[in-house]
A and B are shown apart, each in its own frame.
Chain A
Amino acid sequence: MTPQNSDDIALVAMFMDVNTRESAFTSIVKKYQERIYWQIRRMVVSHDDANDVMQNVFIKAWNGLQNFRSDAQLFTWLYRIAVNESLTYIEQMKRRSSISMDDESLNLEDKLESEKDFDANKAIWKLQIAMQQLPEKQRIVFNLRYFDELPYEEMSKVLDTSVGSLKASYHHAVKKIEDYILNH
């Protein structure tokens, strides 16, 4: 049992107690909010959208923590909620754009360009643009592996996919990003 894991178990136990619920939840949010936020932000790009998804994630966490099984890892569980909520949000944006016949809500590239300090010639922005070209699953895998440095075993729990499939997805994602960067 890792120290991080034992810490999470203690936080969950505190959450189960009505008297310490608020402080336990605040500790959990403080502990994981940044990693969760950046994971979401790289998926939905704009801060407002990321903030909406963040709220959904932690409201769901509050409602679900009372039934949380201690054998599962808190971080993996939170990541899983974040990934699902991001995908749901993107799906809603797609539906909204198909109804309104307006691509702006879906065009993540446009959102990237509206970011402060955006420079298409800089490598860090090129990487972000290249990521937006990836299919959603590959984008998530690349995010979790490249930026969050998650081991494949943990990613497998988050995404409920086999390690082999994740390795293949990461390989394809890296190749596609390389192709974009070399040609732009």
Chain B
Amino acid sequence: MKNGENILTETCSISPAVGNLPKTNPYSLSKEYFSEFPSKIYQLILVSSVSVEQEDMLLTLRDETLKSTQVFSLPTNYFESFSHNLAKKIAEISEIELELHELAPSLLSLKKENPFKIPANYFQQNKIAKPKEKAKVVGMFTSKAFFRYAAAACFVSILYFSYLATNTPLKENTLATTISVEKNNNLSDEGMVSFLNEVDEVSNNTENEFTAEESNNMLVDLNQETIKQVLSEIHEDEMKEFIELTGISDNNITN
């Protein structure tokens, strides 16, 4: 072997120690391994891929089996569907096994047993247990404290709104709200003019009212001496004319 000699020479030139090592195979192996391997691998491939030829082979097998098993009764169309079902099943299994083989070969050796246990006859017991007691209903307004707090809240809110009502300048507010409402309602020019007139009237009325108030205040400030002084300055004839016009009695004048 010329190539072998070249390799030995090359190895010896790199390292004589390695080149001179014996090339004996130290591993042990059963004698049957290589004689059995071709058939084993072919069986494995058969399982992993069922082709048309293998399906035909199964059909031939079916016919032969039918001929030799005439005495036994079989379900109708058993063999017609058997090969198809078998091939389908093998294909399914082999696909899964091949996938698992590629992903994790060690898992293939594991048994697919369920490690979990269930009580005996668990699935035969179809009874659904009814609840023993009716659920207790808890009312929302049973607490007395709720009514106390509600009454207190009502009382406080009444006080607050009454305070607001007595201390708010009502007319200014109404005027301001009226103006704001009018602004928001895009009025025409005529509408605006009539609105301003109304505002003027309101303001005049308020001025008159204030004048009357002022006069009342003045009357309140007058004492009896001032009144007598004013009355003494009026002539008796004027007084009589005034009494005749108004119809006030003498008793009222003296008072």
Contacts and interface: CB of A to CB of B under 8 A. Distances in A.
Q: Do A and B bind each other?
A: yes
B37 A116 contact: no
Interface stretch (B26-34, B181-189, B215-223): B26-34
Interface string B7-46: 1001100110110011111111100011001110110110
B83 interface: no
B41 A29 contact: yes
Interface in B44-58: 44-45, 48-49, 53
A25 interface: yes
B18 A125 contact: no
A178 B15 contact: yes
- Interface size bracket, A side: 35 or more
A139 B15 CA distance: 16
B3 interface: yes
Contact of A54 (B7, B37, B98, B105): B37
A22 interface: yes
Given A34-B34, A149-B3, A175 B15 contact: yes
B191 to A, nearest CB: 86
Given A34-B34, A175-B14, A181-B17, A125 B26 contact: yes
A33 B18 contact: no
B101 interface: yes
A56 B100 CA distance: 12
Given A149-B3, A181-B18, A33 B37 contact: yes
28 contacts: A21-B53, A22-B42, A30-B38, A33-B37, A34-B34, A37-B33, A37-B34, A38-B25, A38-B27, A41-B27, A56-B102, A59-B44, A62-B49, A115-B26, A115-B27, A115-B28, A116-B28, A117-B28, A124-B21, A127-B21, A146-B11, A147-B23, A170-B14, A174-B14, A174-B15, A178-B17, A178-B18, A181-B21
Interface of B: 1, 3-4, 7, 10-11, 14-15, 17-18, 21-29, 33-34, 37-39, 41-42, 44-45, 48-49, 53, 98, 101-102, 104-106
Interface of A: 18, 21-22, 25-26, 29-30, 33-34, 37-38, 41-42, 47, 52, 54-56, 58-59, 62-63, 92, 96, 115-118, 122-125, 127-128, 145-147, 149, 151, 170-171, 174-175, 177-178, 181-182
